[in-house]
A and B are shown apart, each in its own frame.
Chain A
Amino acid sequence: MKRKLILIISILSLVLILATGCSTEEKQTLNVLNYDIYIDRSLLTEFEKANNVTIKYDTYSTPEEMYIKVKSGASKYDLIISSEYMIERMINENLVNKLNFDNIPNYKYISEDFKNHIYDPSNEYSVPYFWGTLGILYNKNTVDASSDSWAMLWDEAHAQKIIMMDSQRDSFAAALKLLGYSLNTVDEKELDEAKELLIQQRPLVMAYITDGSPAIMINEEADMALVWSGEAVSAMAENEDLDFVIPKEGSNIWIDAMIIPSTTDKQELAEKLINFLCSTEATLRNIDEVWYSTVHTEAIELLDEELLSNPAFNIPQSDLDKMEMFRDPKEFIDLYTERWTELMAN
C-alpha cells in the first residue's frame, strides 16, 4: 500500500513539475479582469511573451460583480475592462487612475464618436474597447418581427420560448423602454410599472440567462432572446434562420472601456497592454472572437462587406438616434435591486 501511495504521490508531483514548466524566473505579473469571452486569449499570451510578463486573467459576468470585486479589495487588478456606468461610478469613488496617453499612441485610432462621453467627460480615465446595443435575437421561421417592438418579448404566442437576461438593468431596460420611460429612471412609480410588466411576462419566460442564450438560439430551442448585439452577430453566423431587431421604442447603447484601477503599481505596463489592445491587428482579432461593434477607425476599414452589412454589427444611425446610455444610478440602484429580487421571488 505504502508503495502504491508513494507511486501516486510521485506521479502527481511529476505532473506538477511538468505543468509548472520552467517558469521559475521572477517575472512581473499583470492582473487583468474582463467580461467572460470578451477577448482573443492568444493576444494575452503574445503580450506575455513579448514583454516577459505573466498575465493573471480573471473574468466576471456583470458590472455589479466586477465592482464588488474591486471595491472589497479582494484582488488587486492592474487593468479592467468594464461598462460605462460602472466606470462612471468608479471614477466618482476615486477607484480609477488617470491615464498617461503618451504611453498609448494607438489611442489615435479610437473613433471620436466614442470619446468624451458623460461617464468620462474629458476622457482622462478610460480607453473605449467595444460598443454595442441591446436587442432581440429571434428565429425568422417562428417569429414575426414586423412589430419592431419590445412587445415581442411579451407575446403569448411564444410562451416558454422567450429568454430574458439574468441582469437586472438589462431586463428592466426592455420593460422601461416598452413603457416609453428612460432606462435610467429613478421614479419609483415608473419602476413599479416596469416591475409589474416583468412579473406579467414571467410565465412566458423560458429562462433568465446571461451568456448562454446564443447557444440555445443556435440550437433552435427558443424563439427569441434578449441579447447584446455581439451575441446576435455570433449566433447569426452559425444559424442563418436567426435575425436581430433593435425595437423602435429605442434601446440601450453601451460602451465598454479599459481602465486602470487605483490599486495598481504597474501603471506603465498596464498602459502598454492597453496600447497593444488598441492596435489594428489586435482589434481585428478581437472582433473575430467577440463580434461586437468596434471603436477602431482603421480596423473598421479592413472588415469584410458581410459583417459591415449586418445591422447588429454596423448599427444604423436611425436606431442610434433613439438610444440611451446607462448612467450610474448611485444609491438608487437599490430601487432596481429590490424590484428585481421581488420579481425573482415571485
Chain B
Amino acid sequence: MKDRTKYFAYPYVVWIFLFIALPAFLVLLYSSTTKESNGLTTIHFTLENYKKFFQPIYLNILWDSIYLAAVSTVICLILGYPAALIISNTHVSKRNTLLFLCILPMWMNMLLRTYAWMTILGNNGILNNFFAFIGLPTFNMLYTRGATVMGMVYNFIPFMILPIYTALSKMDKGLLEAADDLGADKKTVFTKVILPLSMPGVISGIIMVFMPAVSTFIIPQLLGGNKSMMIGNLVEKLFILNGDWNFGSAISMVMMIIILLSMSIMNKFDIDKEGGARLW
C-alpha cells in the first residue's frame, strides 16, 4: 500500500516543479542577465544587477528596511512576550478564547487593517480629534516613520504571540515547581528556566514578524506616505513602473536568500513548522 501510494505525489511533484521551482529559476535567470537579452535567444549572463544593488543608495534602502523591520520586531517582542506568558498561565478553559482573540484580527484583510490606521492617525483623525477634545495639542502622526512602524507592529504582532505561546505551553510545568522547590526566586525562575525554554518560540516569532515586515510595500505607502522607501517598495517600483525586471529580480533573489537563511536558522532550532502553518 505504502509503495503504491507514493505515486500519488507525482502529479504534485510536476506541479511544484512548474509553479514553484521554475518561477524561482526564472527569477534567478532574470537576475543574472541583462535587460537586452530578455528574448531568451540571446542571453548575456552578468553580475551587473547584483553589483548595482551594492551601490550606496540601494544599500541605504536595504538597511533602512532592515532597521524599520527590526524596530517593529523588537516592539512586537516586548509587547508580545508578556501577552504570551499571561495566556499560557491562564486557566485552560479561557486559554483558547484568549488565543482566538489574538489570532482573529489576522484573518481580517491586511489592507483593511492598515487602512483603519489611516482613519485613526490622520491630522483630523480620531486620535487627534480626541486629543483636541481633552485639550491636548494635536500632531502629525500619519505619514511618519512612526506610523509605518505602528502599522507593522499592529499587523504582525500575532505572529509573535503565537509561537512564544506554543513554546511556553509545551514547557513542563514540573520544572517550574522543581526550581521553586530548590529555592529559586521568581526572577531566577524566569531568567533561568522560562526564558531559555521559550527561546525557540521567541526566535520563531522574531523571524515570522521580521520576514513580512522587511518585505512589505503597502504599509510604508499607505501609512508612511512613501517617505521611507523600503525594499518591497523598490521591488514593486522596478516591476510595475520602471520595467527593470532584471534588477528587480536580483533584489528578489537577495530577499529570498535572506529568508532561506532565516529558515535554516529556524530549522537549526528545530522549531515546529506546523505551528507556523497553523498560524497563517
Question: Is chain B in direct contact with chain A in the complex (CB below 8 A)?
Answer: yes
Residues of A within 8 A of B123 (CB): 219, 221-222
A208-B225, A209-B226, A344-B226 given; A67·B243 CB < 8 A: yes
Residues of A within 8 A of B143 (CB): 206-207
CB <8 Å contact, A345 and B58: yes
A106 within 8 A of B: no
- B241 in complex: contacting residue of A68, A206, A221, CB < 8 Å: A68
Residues of A within 8 A of B225 (CB): 206-209
A72 within 8 A of B: yes
CB <8 Å contact, B243 and A72: yes
CB <8 Å contact, A344 and B229: yes
With most chain B CB atoms within 10 A of its CB, the pick from A160, A209, A342, A344 is A344
Residues of A within 8 A of B61 (CB): 345
Residues of B within 8 A of A62 (CB): 241
Q: Mark interface residues in A199-221 (1 if CB within 8 Å of B CB, else 0).
A: 00010011111000000100111
Residues of B within 8 A of A205 (CB): 227
User: Residue on B with the closest CB to A333?
Assistant: B242
Interface size on B, residues (CB 8 A): 23
CB <8 Å contact, A345 and B226: no
CB <8 Å contact, B140 and A68: no
Q: Mark interface residues in A305-343 (1 if CB within 8 Å of B CB, else 0).
A: 000000000000000000000000000000001000110
Expressed in whole angstroms, the Cα–Cα distance for A207 and B143 within the complex equals 6
Could you tell me the distance in whole angstroms from the C-beta of A70 to the nearest C-beta in chain B?
A: 11
Expressed in whole angstroms, the Cα–Cα distance for A216 and B118 within the complex equals 11
Residues of B within 8 A of A220 (CB): 124
Could you tell me the distance in whole angstroms from the C-beta of A33 to the nearest C-beta in chain B?
A: 14
Expressed in whole angstroms, the Cα–Cα distance for A293 and B233 within the complex equals 33
CB <8 Å contact, A341 and B57: yes
A65-B241, A160-B140, A207-B143 given; A342·B57 CB < 8 A: yes
- B124 in complex: contacting residue of A64, A67, A207, A221, CB < 8 Å: A221
- Residues 51-66 of A contacting B (Cβ, < 8 Å): 62, 64-65
Q: Mark interface residues in B42-58 (1 if CB within 8 Å of A CB, else 0).
A: 00000000000000011
CB <8 Å contact, A208 and B58: no
A27 within 8 A of B: no
A298 within 8 A of B: no
B64 within 8 A of A: yes
Expressed in whole angstroms, the Cα–Cα distance for A207 and B227 within the complex equals 6
A71 within 8 A of B: yes
A166 within 8 A of B: yes
User: Residue on A with the closest CB to B59?
Assistant: A345
CB <8 Å contact, B140 and A206: yes
Q: Mark interface residues in A146-164 (1 if CB within 8 Å of B CB, else 0).
A: 0000000000000010000
Expressed in whole angstroms, the Cα–Cα distance for A71 and B38 within the complex equals 13
Expressed in whole angstroms, the Cα–Cα distance for A202 and B64 within the complex equals 17
Could you tell me the distance in whole angstroms from the C-beta of A334 to the nearest C-beta in chain B?
A: 9
- Residues 7-27 of B contacting A (Cβ, < 8 Å): none
CB <8 Å contact, B229 and A71: no
CB <8 Å contact, B60 and A345: yes
Could you tell me the distance in whole angstroms from the C-beta of A313 to the nearest C-beta in chain B?
A: 27
Residues of B within 8 A of A206 (CB): 140, 143, 225
User: Residue on A with the closest CB to B62?
Assistant: A345
- A64 in complex: contacting residue of B60, B226, B242, CB < 8 Å: B242
Expressed in whole angstroms, the Cα–Cα distance for A345 and B58 within the complex equals 8
CB <8 Å contact, A64 and B122: no
- Residues 205-259 of B contacting A (Cβ, < 8 Å): 225-227, 229, 233-234, 237, 239-243
Expressed in whole angstroms, the Cα–Cα distance for A244 and B108 within the complex equals 40
Residues of A within 8 A of B233 (CB): 344
Residues of A within 8 A of B242 (CB): 64, 68, 337
A65-B241, A345-B58 given; A208·B124 CB < 8 A: no
Residues of A within 8 A of B241 (CB): 62, 64-65, 68
Q: Mark interface residues in B136-150 (1 if CB within 8 Å of A CB, else 0).
A: 000010110000000
Could you tell me the distance in whole angstroms from the C-beta of B42 to the nearest C-beta in chain A?
A: 18
User: Residue on B with the closest CB to A159?
Assistant: B140
Q: Mark interface residues in A171-214 (1 if CB within 8 Å of B CB, else 0).
A: 00000000000000000000000000000001001111100000
Could you tell me the distance in whole angstroms from the C-beta of B107 to the nearest C-beta in chain A?
A: 16
Q: In the complex, given contacts A205-B227, A337-B242, A345-B64, what are 4 additional A-B residue pairs having Cβ atoms less than 8 angstroms apart?
A: A219-B122, A221-B124, A341-B234, A344-B229
Of all A-B residue pairs in the complex, the 8 with the closest CB atoms, nearest first, are: A207-B225, A221-B123, A208-B226, A207-B143, A344-B229, A68-B243, A64-B241, A345-B61
